[in-house]
Amino acid sequence: MELKIIQNNLSGEAYKKIKLLILEGVLKPGEKIVQEKMAQRLGISKIPLIQALSVLQKERLLSYSHRKGFIVRKISTHEFYDLLDLRGVLEGLAAKRMAYNVNDDIKKHLLEFMDDFEKCCDSKNIKKYSELDKKFHFYILENSGNTYLPHINDSFNLLILIYSKGFKSELGISLDYHKLIIKAIIEGRGEDAARLMEEHFEKAKAFF
């Protein structure tokens, strides 16, 4: 992954890069951010780096103490369940809106997701399935037709905080729900899509 920053907004770009490292699991929960190494890795000084880290702390992706410095936050089980509940409601709404506004382009992308999910499940490629899972849920939020849903997700880092726990669902169960959700959206069954999405996240609690 190329991390060197060439744009003028150094703290803003550092924020985006570090946030991406957390989302992709390169920086893991409980891991300390060694500022000298991170600044060198990003090709910036410590001042914009600290500014970026402070923003990520405010967004609850990092914690800070004078003794340990900045650390990637560990999510408690209780907080994780709260996040799953919230995500189920928001993505349920996103799926419903998408179903009521479905078009050929959305159908095409959803069918491609379904095909890729099936291939990953058949090959038992958990890592690739997890990456696809992230893309799928981001796609639902970004293409729901509700302009506030992506903003809410980005503002509270809902998907990033959840994915920091790692993918621990049973592939077959996850695949079944993804197929049912996709089918409901394609067929324009918004209420069913919303219900299935909430059930999907409720079932995920059993794996943590």
**Residues 140 and 188 reside in one and the same domain:** yes
**Residues 145 and 120 reside in one and the same domain:** yes
**Residues 110 and 52 reside in one and the same domain:** no
Three-class SS of the chain:
CCCCCCCCCHHHHHHHHHHHHHHCCCCCCCCECCHHHHHHHHCCCHHHHHHHHHHHHHCCCEEEECCCEEEECCCCHHHHHHHHHHHHHHHHHHHHHHHHCCCHHHHHHHHHHHHHHHHHHHHCCHHHHHHHHHHHHHHHHHCCCCCHHHHHHHHHCHHHHHHCCCCCCCHHHHHHHHHHHHHHHHCCCHHHHHHHHHHHHHHHHHHC
**Residues 186 and 155 reside in one and the same domain:** yes
137 pLDDT higher than 80: yes
Q: What is the CATH number of the domain that holds 41?
A: 1.10.10.10
The confidence score (pLDDT) of residue 8 equals: 55
**Residues 129 and 186 reside in one and the same domain:** yes
Q: Which of 33, 54, 72 is the last residue of a domain?
A: 72
**Residues 203 and 113 reside in one and the same domain:** yes
**Residues 25 and 114 reside in one and the same domain:** no
Q: What is the CATH number of the domain that holds 114?
A: 1.20.120.530
pTM of this prediction? 0.78
Mean pLDDT of 105-131: 95
Spatial distance between the Cα atoms of 5 and 63, rounded to a whole number of angstroms:
24
**Residues 136 and 194 reside in one and the same domain:** yes
**Residues 109 and 169 reside in one and the same domain:** yes
Query: How does pLDDT run across 148-206, given as a tens digit for each residue?
Result: 998 888 878 877 777 777 666 789 999 999 999 999 999 999 999 999 999 999 998 88
Mean pLDDT of 101-119: 97
Whether 2 is in a domain gets the answer no
Mean pLDDT of 23-47: 93
Range of the domain at 32: 10-72
Highest mean pLDDT out of 56-65, 71-80, 181-190: 181-190
Which single residue is written with the structure tokens 């702390």?
57
Mean pLDDT of 71-96: 92
**Residues 82 and 63 reside in one and the same domain:** no
The confidence score (pLDDT) of residue 24 equals: 83
Whether 4 is in a domain gets the answer no
The confidence score (pLDDT) of residue 2 equals: 63
Number of domains the chain contains = 2
